[in-house]
Chains A and B, each alone.
Chain A
Amino acid sequence: EVQLVESGGGLVQPGGSLRLSCAASGITFSSYWMSWVRQAPGKGLEWVANIKRDGSEQYYVDSVKGRFTISRDNAKNSLYLQMNSLRAEDTSVYYCARGLQLDFWGQGILVTVSS
């Protein structure tokens, strides 16, 4: 059974940092591109970033470029999102999702940026 489990969310002050993790099981993790997608409260879905199978390419939505870093550890079947210089508008549920086509999603983790 495919499982993607996010962790590391919580409350952080504006300007602060947070690192999200996504633990994958039931898949050959190293065979897939992986993505992060977010959803602000009451809003639609927004793709944030993705990373190639071997980690050699990463792409980001403009609003997080220079602040967020996506990475992966294929030996640990894990995906990460390092979030720096957080803003109130980054408050969202963050999902990890499999592949370029986002065919399977984790349950999501809430990140709240507030003083």
Chain B
Amino acid sequence: DIQMTQSPSSLSASVGDRVTITCRASQGIENDLGWYQQKPGKAPKRLIYAASSLQSGVPSRFSGSGSGTEFTLTISSLQPEDFATYYCLQHNNYRLLTFGGGTKVEIK
């Protein structure tokens, strides 16, 4: 099984801050990783696919990078609507998809 270790589990930030979230895979997954945003009571929404490709309609302040075992989601300038929980997902092993534990982004 591929384990996804996401950090931090939570962070406090201010509007305008640059925010970085990391996911580490227990083995190489090439670029088979997506990033999702979830707001309370809502379904997750995909932001990034193939580790670094921006989903259509997602603001350009979101970006993804990485390959192999280490991946990063960056929000270049945090906006009020970005306060949410973020998850990574590996689909390299499609027989057992695994999510990271989540990062809750809160207002400082």
Contact = CB atoms under 8 A, between A and B. Distances in A.
A binds B: yes
Contact of B94 (A45, A59, A104): A59
B49 interface: yes
A108 B44 CA distance: 10
Interface size class of B (residues with CB under 8 A): 20 to 34
Most buried by B among A100, A102, A104: A102
Given A45-B44, A105-B44, A61 B101 contact: no
Interface of A: 33, 35, 44-47, 50, 59, 61, 95, 100-108
Contacts of A100: 91, 94, 97
A108 B43 contact: yes
A16 B91 CA distance: 31
A101 B44 contact: no
A102 B100 CA distance: 14
Nearest to B95: A59
23 contacts: A44-B87, A44-B99, A44-B100, A45-B44, A45-B87, A45-B102, A47-B97, A59-B96, A61-B96, A95-B43, A100-B94, A100-B97, A101-B34, A101-B49, A101-B91, A102-B34, A102-B44, A102-B91, A103-B49, A105-B43, A105-B44, A107-B43, A108-B43
